[in-house]
Amino acid sequence: RGIPLLFLQNISGFMVGKDYEAGGIAKDGAKLVTAVSCARVPKLTVIVGGSFGAGNYGMCGRAYSPRFLFMWPNARISVMGGEQAGVVMTEVGQPEVGAKLREQYEHQGRPVYSTARVWDDGIIDPRDTRTVLAKALAACANAPLAPVSNGIFRM
């Protein structure tokens, strides 16, 4: 049917820890990533808040080649938040590295940093989101769809 998928990202990533691992977070996350990567309909992504870690992949981050990927001015994108990276380094006994890493993550996680490297299709004013998405969907309507390719879903 070719119905486009729209992803609005504000995700902190997948939860980690013994309880979540025992509950199957890795397997469930893998199912989501497989579904997104195998979808052959147009995919559009708008990062409206945070986009961190594996959650970025599950919600069609740039690694999954959405047709369009936009960011709001307040958005942040990185492998993890700067604060979390700093806490991890402090916990492993390197607080001086943690402070530097926190600053680096905060700087490189900003939308301007991403857009300057053409990692996305631009920063959009939240008030213009509907108009921008309408134009993006119109562009997608004129592009051919890729052939269907289903991955292996493990239950």
Tell me the per-residue pLDDT of 74-109, one tens digit each, with 9 for 90 and over.
999 988 777 777 777 888 888 788 888 888 888 999
Domain of 71 in residue numbering reads as 5-140
Number of domains in the chain: 1
Angle at 9 between CA 146 and CA 66, to 5 degrees: 20
Predicted TM-score of the model (pTM): 0.82
In a domain, 26, yes or no: yes
In a domain, 58, yes or no: yes
In a domain, 149, yes or no: no
In a domain, 150, yes or no: no
For the chain, the average pLDDT equals: 86
Domain CATH code at residue 19: 3.90.226.10
In a domain, 154, yes or no: no
Q: Which of 81, 41, 80, 82 is nearest to 60 (CA)?
A: 41
In a domain, 151, yes or no: no
Residue 51: how many CA atoms within 13 Å on its side-chain side? 29
Strands (E), 1-155: 5-11, 43-52, 68-71, 76-78
- Spatial distance between the Cα atoms of 154 and 147, rounded to a whole number of angstroms: 22
Residue 63's contacts (CB-CB under 8 Å, 6 or more residues apart) are 56, 57
Q: Which residue has the higher pLDDT, 154 or 27?
A: 27
